[in-house]
Amino acid sequence: MARERILVVEDECEIQELVRYNLAKDGYQVQCVETGEAALQATRKDHPDLVVLDLMLPGIDGLEVCRKLKTDPRTQVIPILMLTAKGEEADIVTGLELGADDYMTKPFSPRVLIARIRAVLRRKASEPVDEESPLRMHELVIHPGRHEVLSGSEPVQLTPTEFRVLHYLASRPGWVFTRYQIADAIHEGDSLVTDRSVDVQIVGLRKKLGDAGRYIETVRGVGYRFKESR
């Protein structure tokens, strides 16, 4: 069976080799390039199933590559997993807002990287999310049609905005969303939702969800995600 093709964009030899070796061992077809220019060229020409993109590259940097790929109709559907260094939270936020699908901070374990790649490919395959059907996550049932949340069998009373935040996060468990992305997704009509008010909504949500509030995880410096159930 032909496995997915992964393009690895990384200028550091050791990391490139580590990623290449582990992906190949796991059955993926791997192509490696060292520069942003080569990444753009290879992506447009070969249409890989996923791009592993280091942000710190000589020449065109990873964020610019991300921007170019995600604004080009030919390449915008190709998932991008960013590789970042510690302390690059601002770049992670920018990358996610440009449309990158996930990120890993160096140093990382190859096993975790492969798990993330699988998860991104799986999510991509299962899109689009059905906006109307109830979500069952952990002990929560989130019913968008009825605007109703049950924790176990107990109803949870949420404001309409809190409900939208919860539904948005829970419909893509494991994905990290920035405050800006959440604000953008939940705003309705002319009402203005700021980054700060997203934090306020999250505080309220966690409180009302009680024990289940722990599923809404803070990703320091980046944003929030809903914990995946395993």
Binding residues for Ca ion, per CB under 5 A? Answer: 11, 54, 56
How far apart are alpha carbons 132 and 23 in whole angstroms?
A: 36
In contact, 82 and 53? CB cutoff 8 Å = yes
Identify which of residues 102 and 162 has a Cβ nearer to Ca ion in the complex: 102
Query: Residue 68 CB, nearest distance to Ca ion (Å)?
Result: 18
Query: Residue 59 CB, nearest distance to Ca ion (Å)?
Result: 11
Pairing of strands 135-137, 140-143: antiparallel
Query: Residue 71 CB, nearest distance to Ca ion (Å)?
Result: 23
Residue closest to Ca ion when measured from CB atoms: 56
How far apart are alpha carbons 43 and 46 in whole angstroms?
A: 5
Query: Residue 212 CB, nearest distance to Ca ion (Å)?
Result: 40
How far apart are alpha carbons 38 and 164 in whole angstroms?
A: 40
Query: Residue 201 CB, nearest distance to Ca ion (Å)?
Result: 36
Query: Residue 35 CB, nearest distance to Ca ion (Å)?
Result: 10
Identify which of residues 83 and 186 has a Cβ nearer to Ca ion in the complex: 83
Identify which of residues 15 and 185 has a Cβ nearer to Ca ion in the complex: 15
Pairing of strands 5-9, 50-54: parallel
Identify which of residues 19 and 176 has a Cβ nearer to Ca ion in the complex: 19
Identify which of residues 11 and 64 has a Cβ nearer to Ca ion in the complex: 11
Q: In which order are the strands placed within the sheet that holds 148-151?
A: 135-137, 140-143, 148-151, 154-156
Q: Which residue has the tokens 């590789």?
A: 83
Run of H or E residues at 141: strand 140-143
Q: Minimal CA–CA distance to 39: which of 87, 82, 102? A: 82
How many residues does the structure list for the chain? 230
Running DSSP on this structure, what letter comes out for residue 108? -
